[in-house]
Amino acid sequence: MTNKLTLKEAMLYEKLPEDKVHCYLCARHCKIDKNRTGFCLVRENKNGKLYSLNYAKTCAANVDPIAKKPLAHFNPGALVMSIATVGCNFRCKFCDNWMISQEKTISGRNFPPEEVVKATLESACQGISYTYTEPTIFFEYAYDTARVAKDAGLFNTFVTNGYMTPEAIRKITPYLDAATVDFKGAADPEFYKRFSSVPSVQPIFSALKEMKHNGIHVEITNLIIPKIGDSLAKIEELAVWIRDNLGKDTPFHLLRFHPNYKMTGQTATPRKTMEKAYEVSLKKAGLNYVYLGNIPGHDFENTYCPNCNNLLVKRFGVEIVKWNLTKKMHCPECGHNIPIKGELHPTGASYPFPLF
């Protein structure tokens, strides 16, 4: 792999008078002056043409279990090549991956789409995940890689903040099989403004409807930060929206916060808070598949049959400890159909190994 800088003309923009451009890849809809970058700092207007600066400049590449994304109802046990470039269209003060998402210099190794797919096949992965930072802002790279990956029989998944335009979703739809869409603070607009510098949450809900409409498998996460993002009423409101717009079988992962980045003064989310959020989402909002994340070994990491409460999948963190479903994904006790896409893949004993 070499470090040469590749400039790629951007997708999803239009030219404006006076060599300005309008980028409509993400919901910020930046209007960018000549020789300036957009909010994400990785798309630059060079003399009236918009370029992606981070195309194939990969800053992280790892083999991960799919459960790490998290995806619990899509090809369980699969391994995914996980890649990222620098940059983001959010400024979350609690970001886990702030070292790369908030990096202002374009850095990383040249890792073209064909090489990513080759490495994925050689690593015995079943798919590729565009993750760690925000795949929307390395869209051209993800798009080209996803196309090659599809031809090679691999699946593609995004881990995204969901702040994409419908145009971007429609473009990637033929190649995108699944998406994990990450909420924080139960989608409270004030929380997003204050802690992520995001002016409106509405585009995320529109993006979710578009994904659902286009047949992309969707799982939702919500990061619960104590005191500032742990309102049970708001969590219930979000869970009800998911039930009414995406369906009650949509997996909903509630993620425990650990102090990070600019929020190291905060405490980790108490287990009691997490358990209450679980109960509210499951029993009050009526979602069928709610999971607690970042509490390995907790009973609420498991999948239970919504019809007879039989334990179907026992987990410990990203590991599947026990699988108790029929081949056709039915509960063996009552025969209830459990919506899990794809197939069960034999899990390896120890996965994560970084490529670089």
The Cα–Cα gap between 33 and 18 comes to 8
Q: How far is the CB of 247 from ligand SF4 (least distance, A)?
A: 29
- Figure out which of the listed residues 4, 14, 15, 40 binds ligand SF4, where binding follows CB under 6 A: 40
Report, in Å, the least distance between residue 101 CB and ligand SF4. Answer: 13
Q: Which of 25, 81, 148, 207 binds ligand SF4 (CB under 6 A)?
A: 25
Give the separation between CA 351 and CA 50, rounded to whole angstroms.
39
User: Shortest approach of ligand SF4 to residue 91 CB, angstroms?
Assistant: 11
CB 30 within 8 A of CB 1: no
- Select 88 or 331, whichever has its Cβ closest to ligand SF4: 88
- Assess 29 for contact with ligand SF4 (CB under 6 A): yes
26 binds ligand SF4 (CB under 6 A): yes
- Residue 259 corresponds to which tokens in the numbers above? 């102090």
Q: Is 9 left (phi over 0), alpha (psi -120 to 50) or beta?
A: beta
What span, in angstroms and rounded, lies between the C-alpha atoms of 50 and 178? 28
Per rule CB under 6 A, is residue 198 in the interface with ligand SF4?
A: no
Bridge partners (DSSP) listed for residue 8: 52
Name residues whose C-beta falls within 8 Å of residue 87's C-beta, 6 or more positions apart in sequence: 40, 41, 42, 54, 101, 103, 133, 134, 137, 138
CB of 128 to ligand SF4, least distance (A): 21
229 Cβ partners below 8 Å, 6+ apart? 184, 185, 186, 188, 191, 195, 223, 257
Distance CA(25)–CA(5), nearest Å, equals 22
Residues between 42 and 61 with contacts to ligand SF4, criterion CB under 6 A: 43
Tokens coding 33: 């002056």
With CA atoms as reference, report the closest residue to 333 among 315, 307, 313, 314.
307
Question: Least distance to ligand SF4 from the beta carbon of 9, Å?
Answer: 13
- Site residues (CB under 6 A) for ligand SF4, limited to 94-153: 137
Among 39, 51, 141, 289, binds ligand SF4 (CB under 6 A): 39
Q: How far is CA 339 from CA 75, 80, 106, 159, in A?
A: 11, 21, 40, 20
Contacting residue, 2, 6, 11, 30, with ligand SF4 by CB under 6 A: 30
Is 233 in a helix, a strand, or coil? helix
Q: Determine, following the binding rule CB under 6 A, whether residue 90 of this chain makes contact with ligand SF4.
A: no
23 makes contact with ligand SF4 (CB under 6 A): yes
Q: State the nearest-atom distance from the C-beta of 3 to ligand SF4, in Å.
A: 23
Minimum CB distance to ligand SF4 smaller for 146 or for 224: 146
Give least dist CB 120 to ligand SF4, A: 25
Residue 274: closest CA among 296, 251, 292, 252? 292
In 3D space, the residue among 78, 77, 154, 60 whose CA is nearest the CA of residue 114 turns out to be 154
Q: Which stretch binds ligand SF4 (CB under 6 A): 38-46, 179-187, 285-293, 295-303?
A: 38-46
Q: Cα-atom radius of gyration of the chain, to the nearest Å?
A: 20
Task: For the CB of residue 69, give the shortest distance to ligand SF4 in the complex, in Å.
Answer: 22
# of chain residues touching ligand SF4 (CB under 6 A): 12
* Dist CA 92 CA 195 (whole Å): 6
**Residue 156 vs 161, nearer CB to ligand SF4:** 161
Which region among 37-45, 77-85, 177-185, 225-233 touches ligand SF4 (by CB under 6 A)? 37-45
* Residue number with CB closer to ligand SF4 (31 or 322): 31
Find the residue with minimal CB distance to ligand SF4. Answer: 38
Task: Give min distance, CB of 86 to ligand SF4, in A.
Answer: 13
Q: Write out the residues near ligand SF4 by the rule CB under 6 A.
A: 23, 25-26, 28-30, 38-40, 43, 89, 137
